[in-house]
Each structure stands twice: as structure tokens, then as C-alpha cells.
Amino acid sequence: MNWQILMSGGPEGGDSGMFTLVWFGLIFLIMYLLLIRPQKKKQKAHEELLNELKKGDKIVTSGGMFGVIFAIDNEKNRVVVRIGNDIKLEFLKSSIAAKVES
């Protein structure tokens, strides 16, 4: 028995390189469609949310803290969030997870 023919997948063996290339291309396409593309859409939606924020919006931070935007500093990329009557905390804009509809 010729082991070299069995290991190459057949007597010609030249098509196995092309098959491997197509296989990796399909895997990359599936990974792009299932992982990369939805993540980019989610990131773009989050950036739009951050750009549309204004004073008085009710928000929740990525840490789960609820509050109302008191002030926005676009130069420093920060927001001041009012948590209670006299409690104001400063957060990075990127730490805002979502707007809260009341």
C-alpha cells in the first residue's frame, strides 16, 4: 500500500491546497458574519447614543448606577451625573451603557 497517496488525499494531491484555502476563507466569512459585523453594529449604536446625550437624560452606567445627566464636558469626554438630590458624580462618557426611558 502506498502511504504517500493515502496521506495526500489522492494520487493528484494538488487540489488539497486550494481546498484548504477555500475552507479557511469560509471559516473567516462565518466568523465575520457571526462575530465581527454584529460587534461593529453594536459599537456604532453605542457611539451614536453617546453623541446624542444631553442634559436631563436619564441613564444607566456600565456599573449599573442610575442617574440623570447634570452636565456634559465633550472636551474631556466626561459627564456629571446626578444620583440623588445633592449627589453628583463624574463619569467618562464611554461608561454610560444606555438611556433609561421612565
pLDDT in tens, 8-41: 555 555 578 888 999 999 999 999 889 999 999 9
The pLDDT assigned to 3 comes to 56
Pair (58, 43) in one structural domain: no
Whole-model pTM?
0.68
Q: For CA atoms 31, 33, 37, 41, give the dihedral sign.
A: negative
Pair (63, 91) in one structural domain: yes
The span from the CA of 36 to the CA of 94, in Å, is 20
Pair (10, 37) in one structural domain: yes
The pLDDT assigned to 1 comes to 55
At 56-78, the pLDDT tens digits run 999 999 999 999 999 999 999 99
The pLDDT assigned to 81 comes to 96
Q: Judge residue 50's burial from the number of C-beta atoms within 10 Å of its C-beta, 0-12 exposed, 13-18 middle, 19 or more buried.
A: middle
Pair (61, 93) in one structural domain: yes
Domain total for the chain?
2
**Mean predicted confidence (pLDDT) in 69-89:** 94
Pair (69, 39) in one structural domain: no
Q: What is the CATH number of the domain that holds 81?
A: 2.30.30.30
Pair (63, 95) in one structural domain: yes
Residue pair 55/48 in contact by the 8 Å Cβ criterion = no
Pair (95, 59) in one structural domain: yes
Instruction: Give the domain-ending residue among 48, 63, 84.
Output: 48
Residue pair 37/43 in contact by the 8 Å Cβ criterion = no
**Mean predicted confidence (pLDDT) in 93-97:** 95
C-alpha cell, 83: 444620583
Containing structural domain, residue 32: 3-48
Scan for cell 441613564, then name that residue: 59
